[in-house]
Amino acid sequence: MNSLLKALICIALGYFIGTINPSYLIAKIKDFDIRKRGSGNAGASNALIVFGKAVGIFCALFDIYKACLAIELARRVIFPDYSLAFIITGTAAIIGHMYPFYMKFKGGKGLACLGGVVLMYDWKFFLILLAIEIIVVLATDYICFVPMTASIIFPIAYGIFEKSFHSACIFLFATVLILFKHAENIIRIRNKTELHFSYLWNKEKELERMNESDVNIDVSKDNEENKK
């Protein structure tokens, strides 16, 4: 099998597994579109806002796992001899999460899937990057800076460690799309209408601040039910 066909299979595998979106599907079961509530994002962070911590954590773990699964299938099972299986499949999984065909290409923003890709690359590097991003989010109080910085750091580190910048450049497709996806977050930060990360432990104060900024955060009743 030639390299082009292997690459196409890795792309298809990563993309279609990446499109499985638990936050969107859970909301559909409850008869609404999660993209019309909370932050308007079909991802784990908005699932946390809309449904509560339990569902939010489940969605995050699921999104991490689906990237891990896609990479494991491509790298270990289907093409163990193909050096680009990891980076191509991982990149495609992130893109599939962000641009799923059955959601009219309006999916999540790729953070958890990105985490899964980094974890499958090297768990030690994952922990180092996680520590860096914890500092970033606590210093800025905005979760959106995490995928943006991580998507830049990872391909650079990958290229250095693997001594293969041409393969690391493949991941730049995901980096560009992640940065593009978060452009609206940067605009909201400038307008002081972006939800702070401290919402997790200071919900009432943050909702009051958002209401003062004329921003409507539509939170599902399921969130309150999950807390009971």
Q: What is the pLDDT of residues 32-87, one digit of tens each?
A: 999 998 878 899 988 988 898 899 999 999 999 999 999 999 999 999 999 999 99
Q: Is residue 128 part of a domain?
A: yes
What's the token pair of residue 175?
Answer: 């980096």
Q: Using CA atoms, how far apart are residues 182 and 193, in angstroms rounded to an integer?
A: 14
Q: What pLDDT shows up at residue 215?
A: 54
Residue 186 φ/ψ region, left for φ over 0, alpha for ψ in the -120 to 50 degree band, beta for the rest = alpha
Residue 211 confidence (pLDDT) = 66
Closest CA to 154 of 178, 135, 138: 178
| Dihedral angle computed from the Cα positions of residues 196, 198, 201 and 205, in that order, rounded to the nearest 10 degrees | -60
Residue 190 lies in a domain: yes
**Looking at residue 85, what is its pLDDT?**
95
Tokens of 77: 């099972």
- The pLDDT, as a whole number, for residue 209 is 66
Q: Classify residue 62: in a domain, yes or no.
A: yes
CA angle 156, 157, 160 (to 5 degrees): 90
Decide if 86 is inside a domain. yes
Tell me the Cα Rg of the chain. 18
DSSP 163: T
Per-residue pLDDT of the chain (228 residues; tens, 9 = 90+): 788 999 999 999 999 999 999 999 999 999 999 999 887 889 998 898 889 889 999 999 999 999 999 999 999 999 999 999 999 999 999 999 999 999 999 999 999 999 999 999 999 999 999 999 999 999 998 888 999 999 999 999 999 999 988 889 999 999 999 999 999 889 988 888 887 777 766 767 766 766 665 555 555 455 544 444
How many domains is the chain partitioned into structurally? Answer: 1
Residue 132 in any domain: the answer is yes
Amino acid at 46: N
C-alpha dist (Å) from residue 150 to 18, 75, 77, 155, 178: 18, 23, 28, 9, 10
The verdict on residue 71 lying in a domain is: yes
- State how far Cα 91 lies from the chain centre: 12
Residue 227 lies in a domain: no
- 151 lies in which domain range? 3-217
State both tokens at 174. 């995901």
Spatial separation of the C-alpha atoms in residues 28 and 199, rounded to whole Å: 25
225 within a domain of the structure (yes/no): no
What pLDDT score does 196 carry?
Answer: 79
Q: Mapping DSSP to helix (H, G, I), strand (E, B) and coil, where does residue 204 land? A: helix
pTM recorded for the entire structure: 0.88
